[in-house]
Amino acid sequence: MPEDRKPLTDPTTSYARPPFAHQKQPWPGLASRMQPPPDHGETSYRGSGRLTGRRALITGGDSGMGRAAAIAYAREGADVAINYFPNEEEDAQEVVGLIREAGRTAVALPGDLRDEAFCQRLAADAAAGLGGLDILVSNAARQQTRASILDVSSEDFDATMKTNIYAPFWLIKAALPLLQRGSVIIATTSVQAYDPSPELYDYAQTKAATMNFVKSLAKQLGPKGIRVNGVAPGPIWTPLQVSGGATQEKLEQFGAHTPLGRPGQPAELGSIYVQLAASDASFSTGQIYGAAGGSGQP
């Protein structure tokens, strides 16, 4: 094989396959305590300057897809602010270190997105720490499995709606005056928006709403030169699953139903967030990019 030719990677065996060990953490969970630990691209992502000088705010940037995006953005030359729930500080500080190792500015902004006043401050604090704002990744989400709608309390429902629906609304409103032509907004939706699981009644409908607001907001902001897109993951190995997002039975076989026979890793989505933020994707707006291992939509 020529030295400049990289070997092909078999996607069915490139990452851990089920069965997985039973494990449980209190919400919202820590990636650093999962077995096996998720891969966010810590050792694998290589940048090429695609986002040099950009300034990004990522909610849920301590773990999962948010962490993968933060690592990829920093290695592509962007300065990054991450928001996370205060008890996720352990994971968040690892991300801060990785951003700084890439030679970029890192801003840590802990706080509860269910608080409207905090969301309003978050955009301003990110812009102050980064010297402006060009990329907003609305990624943080709450997912709790419930066998029946009868098991979903009003408090549960309210917490999911506040995190997944109200927070992006508040944050986008606060960030919009800070964005210029060429800026981008990226939301994380889910295959649950298209093929909802019966035990994720409240979570799934918030992801359908996220998919819908991407398409609506893209039409509204297109004339202003601001692109809006979304990423729709399938089963991805993140703390959502071990902190109440899946039953222990489902966790053990997590991802087994996909054609690839395994769950995805956050690292496998980092390049999608980069592509949607990069200027060479300038005709992509109102789009949902999927990564579901061969199942689900789009």
How many of the other CB atoms lie within 10 Å of CB of 278? 16
Catalytic residue among 45, 194, 201, 203: 203
At position 162, the amino acid (one-letter code) is K
* 273 carries an active-site annotation: no
**Cβ–Cβ < 8 Å for 174, 115:** no
What Rg, from alpha-carbon coordinates, does the chain have?
18
**Cβ–Cβ < 8 Å for 126, 147:** no
For the residues of 136-178, what is the DSSP string, one character each?
EEE--------SSGGG--HHHHHHHHIIIIIHHHHHHHHHGGG
3-class secondary-structure state, position 47:
coil
H or E stretch at 269: none
CA-angle at 247, arms to 295 and 252, nearest 5°: 65
3-class secondary-structure state, position 39:
coil
Helix, strand, coil tally for the chain in percent (to 5): 45, 15, 45
For the residues of 83-135, what is the DSSP string, one character each?
EE-GGGHHHHHHHHHHHHHTT--EEEEE--TT-HHHHHHHHHHHHHHHTS--E
Active site residues: 203
